Amino acid sequence: MEINSDFSKRVLVHSDEIPWKASPMQGVERRMLDRIGDEVARATTIVRYAPGSHFSPHVHTGGEEFIVLEGVFSDEHGDFPAGSYIRNPPSSSHSPGSKPGCIIFVKLWQFSPSDRTAVKIDINKMHLISDAKRPGVSVMPLFQDEHETVQVEDWEAETEIEMETPDGAELLVLSGTLKETGDAMRQHSWLRIPTGGKISAKAGPNGARLWIKSRHLRDIKTPNQII
């Protein structure tokens, strides 16, 4: 299966326009944003757990990164409410589920194979830092290594942003609205900018909070290339 698999192209997806599709586990549904592969896939997905649903125990051979958008996600490592950012590195394992139900934005098979850094951050308890180079922008660092940078950004109302992305970038709107290259983005809209691209955006009248990943699209590998 291939969905938005040409990483040389800019892709914008309004996730609320994609129908939910059943996963192999009852009560767990998905909206696929990009994908290369079938059930073992390099994938970016929004996943919905019905109340009381769960996934069977599994190992993250290629790593898993996610942010809880709604509800409470749980596994044997804890309960993670909306606003939780989690990185489960390659070789980690868990048995995920949700008692009240939840929605998460998740990325699979996109770690460096040598990465063993586990991350668990409650964004609700973190402070943002004003970006001295971009007036109207505050930043919350989530993760950084030699391969990628991940952060949350708050853009004040009507803030205009021009930013080069030589090694690519992804944006997920957590709240608020913005326009990027003339396209209107709303909550849970997802944008992928290819290498050599540029972000040209303006926050909406109430500002915007964004999850942003950058520097990670230089060398795209699929699970078959990693294993």
Q: What angle do CA 211, 214, 216 make, to 5 degrees?
A: 125
Query: Can you name the CATH fold of 2-8+18-122?
Result: Jelly Rolls (2.60.120)
Same CATH topology for 2-8+18-122 and 123-214? yes
Could you give the C-alpha distances from 136 to 23, 100, 207, in angstroms and in order?
Answer: 41, 36, 10
> Which residues, 6 or more positions from 205, have their beta carbon under 8 angstroms from its beta carbon?
157, 158, 177
pLDDT tens, N- to C-terminus, the chain (227 residues): 999 999 999 999 999 999 999 999 999 999 999 999 988 889 999 999 999 998 888 888 899 999 999 999 999 889 999 999 999 999 999 999 999 999 999 999 999 888 999 999 999 999 999 999 999 999 999 999 999 999 999 999 999 999 999 999 999 999 999 999 999 999 999 999 999 999 999 999 999 999 999 999 987 765 555 44
pTM for the model: 0.94
Domain boundaries, the chain: 2-8+18-122, 123-214
Q: From CA 98, how far away is CA 136, in angstroms rounded?
A: 36
| 123-214 classified as CATH 3.90.230.10 | no
The tally of CA atoms less than 13 A away on the side-chain side of residue 76 is 8
Tracing tokens 């914008």 back to the chain, one arrives at 12
